[in-house]
């Protein structure tokens, strides 16, 4: 059984100013299933507490506790949002029965609902199987005649076959197969791909599906002109952009608390510069952050990195 849980305000903690100087003082925890009033100019934080897909993909489990770890780190950060912008915590989806497909469907419904209410969703996981449910929610909202471009910051393509069921390594393959069925275009750009993190068949699948990517060795601040050109070409050809950030793409010096850590990953600086370019396009519709695993974090480094990324995005949109 999947459970929808309303967030207890006590999860959000930090300095007390009495002036909403910190995000824990700004956030409003609501029950999305009972909230009927439309929220304009709102940012919605939704948790995806599921690591079933990671377990199926033979990764290190523990990411099910990722959403609250990021909430705790984010609440301590300063609030620079305008007073007329609501910052909402709309709860967490939890997978209790091991049925990944059910919680992905549940997630798609929640994302579509948030977009219908005029809010900007920030979804926090949990395994990267978050992407399949998230994308389907966006697709449900925008309709069949609108193109969605997926930009994935990741060391992995996550294009494994789902012939034995979906997992954290299959979401973009599943999306590609759905696109074939409904004859829509599969628009997928992956930034930070590592040769030592993807086998030969995954590169062959990426080529077959027309996936665009930049290898990790080229996804650096020294190559910003190449990165920005690739981003611009990709963004120009779609109506909306969905961004998904897999924390295991970062070097483990920045993100040790993930299911598949690596010292040879990208840096936060190039991700922030890329996000700036994406945000400037005004096409970003939704974003998620995946694979936060507090079980293996060191001094909350990964949670703080994820929180800083969310902080940057929510103040820039």
pLDDT tens digits for 208-266? 999 999 999 999 999 999 999 999 999 999 999 999 999 999 999 999 999 899 899 99
Domain boundaries, the chain: 2-316
Spell out the long-range contacts of 264-269 with Cβ–Cβ below 8 A and sequence spacing 24 or more: 264/194, 264/196, 264/216, 265/155, 265/192, 265/194, 265/216, 266/153, 266/191, 266/192, 266/216, 266/219, 266/220, 267/220, 267/221, 268/305, 268/308, 268/309, 269/221
- Which two three-digit tokens encode residue 216? 């990790």
Residue-level pLDDT at 114: 96
299 is in an annotated binding site: no
Q: Percent of the chain beyond pLDDT 70?
A: 98
Residue-level pLDDT at 97: 80
Q: Would you say the pTM of this structure is higher than 0.75?
A: yes
DSSP state of 78: B
156 is in an annotated binding site: yes
182 is in an annotated binding site: no
128 is in an annotated binding site: yes
pLDDT tens digits for 62-121? 999 999 999 999 999 999 999 999 999 999 999 878 899 999 999 999 999 999 999 999
- Which two three-digit tokens encode residue 29? 């925890």
Q: Percent of the chain beyond pLDDT 90?
A: 90
Pairing of strands 86-95, 2-5: antiparallel
Does the domain at 2-316 match CATH 3.40.800.10? Answer given as: yes
C-alpha R_g of the chain: 18
């Amino acid at each position: 059984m999947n459970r929808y849980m309303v967030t207890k305000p006590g999860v959000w903690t930090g300095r007390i100013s009495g002036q909403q100087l910190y995000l824990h003082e700004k956030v409003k925890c609501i029950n999305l299933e009972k909230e009927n009033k439309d929220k304009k100019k709102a940012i919605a934080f939704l948790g995806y507490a599921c690591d079933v897909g990671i377990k199926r993909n033979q990764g290190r489990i523990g990411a099910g506790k990722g959403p609250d770890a990021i909430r705790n780190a984010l609440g301590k950060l300063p609030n620079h949002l305008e007073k007329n912008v609501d910052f909402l915590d709309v709860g967490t989806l939890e997978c209790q029965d091991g049925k990944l497909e059910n919680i992905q469907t549940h997630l798609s419904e929640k994302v579509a609902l948030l977009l219908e209410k005029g809010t900007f969703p920030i979804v926090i996981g949990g395994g990267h199987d978050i992407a399949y449910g998230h994308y389907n929610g966006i697709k449900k909202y925008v309709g069949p005649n609108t193109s969605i471009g997926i930009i994935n910051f990741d060391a992995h393509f996550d294009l494994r076959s789902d012939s034995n069921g979906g997992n954290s390594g299959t979401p973009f393959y599943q999306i590609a197969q759905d696109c074939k069925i409904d004859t829509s275009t599969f628009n997928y750009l992956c930034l930070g791909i590592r040769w030592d993190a993807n086998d030969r068949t995954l590169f062959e699948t990426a080529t077959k599906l027309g996936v665009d990517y930049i290898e990790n060795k080229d996804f650096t601040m020294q190559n910003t002109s190449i990165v920005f050109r690739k981003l611009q070409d990709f963004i120009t050809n779609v109506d909306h952009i969905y961004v998904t950030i897999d924390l295991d793409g970062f070097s483990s010096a920045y993100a040790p608390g993930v299911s598949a850590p690596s010292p040879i990953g990208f840096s936060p600086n190039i991700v922030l510069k890329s996000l700036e370019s994406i945000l400037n396009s005004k096409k970003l519709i939704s974003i998620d952050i995946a694979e936060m695993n507090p079980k293996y974090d060191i001094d909350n480094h990964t949670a703080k990195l994820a929180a800083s990324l969310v902080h940057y995005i929510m103040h820039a949109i």
